[in-house]
């Protein structure tokens, strides 16, 4: 029984969920306490990845298959039974007959707490001798409710850059001045959320203590909702919660998706509230 965050509202509307018995009747199965987990591939020098929880079948995220470099597993946050859970990350190719298609890149056992949200960040170099070597880091996502503002944080997933500062400027070419919005962010970690007024902005990543941008990208504007269309998170949509992830370029000659330059990509941690009036 695989559950995603987006199926939970329907599930929660029922006192229990049913599994079919041999006689055709539905046998109630109690929904256990759930944590919510998502996976981001920040490996710049190898194939896409597949993630499988291997300790049990029921109440487990759907397998994230073929996640490319700079990609996130399908479905964003997935519900998983809270407690100590074991998962494994494999390399992926569409042609399963190719040697090395199922090489194990990493394995982790982690105690996921009920009601909490987590980002599984897989970063570093998969090739032998790469520094830093690939590792799985589990980040706790303390997702705020920003009301009429925007909440944004950063994840540093660019190996070899060192600690970074993050400035939020109106555009990717605006002059950088003053104190950074996020200071001294270490590789493989996430910052606290910052609350800002709705409006266009770009994340400008610099070496810690510098104002020379190393990586820059504008946040998506988002889409305002209506009575019939749900809003989409973005810089201009109140109530949006975003994570800006700083990625490196892919390694030349590798099978990672061709990404000749480092960049910042934005992931929605919380969508804006639905519009209830036309």
State residue 9's pLDDT score: 40
Domain 1-141 class in CATH:
mainly beta
Per domain, the residue ranges of the chain are 1-141, 143-278
| CA of residue 174 relative to chain centroid, distance | 27
Q: Is the peptide bond before 209 cis (omega within 30 degrees of 0)?
A: no
The CB density around residue 92, as the number of other CB atoms within 10 Å, is: 22
Q: Is the pLDDT at 158 greater than 70, yes or no?
A: yes
- Mapped onto helix, strand or coil, the DSSP state of residue 10 is helix
Answer positive or negative: Cα dihedral of 160, 161, 164, 167. negative
Give the global pTM.
0.86
Asked whether the beta carbons of 238 and 152 are under 8 A apart, the reply is: no
Say how far apart CA 214 and CA 207 lie, in whole Å: 7
pLDDT band with cut points at 50, 70 and 90 for residue 59: confident
Helix or strand holding residue 244 (H, E): strand 241-247
Q: For 149-157, what is the mean pLDDT?
A: 98
Q: What is the pLDDT of residues 210-223, one digit of tens each?
A: 999 999 999 999 99
């Amino acid at each position: 029984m695989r559950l995603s965050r987006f199926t939970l509202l329907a599930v929660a509307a029922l006192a229990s969920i049913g599994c079919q018995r041999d006689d055709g009747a539905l046998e109630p199965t109690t929904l256990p306490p759930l944590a919510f987990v998502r996976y981001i591939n920040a490996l710049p020098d190898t194939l896409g990845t597949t993630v499988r929880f291997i300790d049990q079948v029921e109440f487990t995220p759907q397998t994230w298959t073929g996640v490319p470099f700079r990609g996130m597993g399908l479905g964003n946050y997935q519900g998983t039974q809270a407690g100590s859970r074991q998962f494994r990350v494999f390399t992926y190719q569409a042609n399963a007959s190719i040697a090395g298609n199922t090489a194990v890149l990493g394995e982790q056992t982690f105690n996921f707490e009920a009601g909490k949200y987590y980002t599984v960040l897989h970063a570093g170099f998969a090739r032998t001798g790469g520094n830093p070597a690939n590792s799985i880091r589990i980040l706790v996502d303390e997702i705020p409710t920003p009301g009429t503002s925007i909440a944004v944080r950063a994840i540093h997933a660019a190996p070899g850059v060192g600690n970074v500062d993050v400035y939020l400027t109106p555009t990717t070419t605006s002059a950088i001045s003053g104190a950074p919005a996020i200071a001294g962010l270490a590789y493989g970690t996430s910052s606290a959320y910052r609350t800002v007024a709705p409006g266009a902005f770009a994340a400008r990543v610099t070496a810690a203590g510098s104002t020379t941008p190393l990586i820059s990208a504008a946040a998506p504007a988002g889409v305002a909702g209506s009575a019939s269309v749900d809003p989409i998170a973005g810089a201009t949509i109140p109530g949006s919660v975003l994570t800006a992830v700083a990625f490196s370029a892919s390694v030349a000659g590798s099978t990672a998706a061709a990404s000749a330059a480092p960049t910042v990509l934005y992931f929605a941690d919380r969508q804006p509230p639905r519009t209830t009036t036309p």
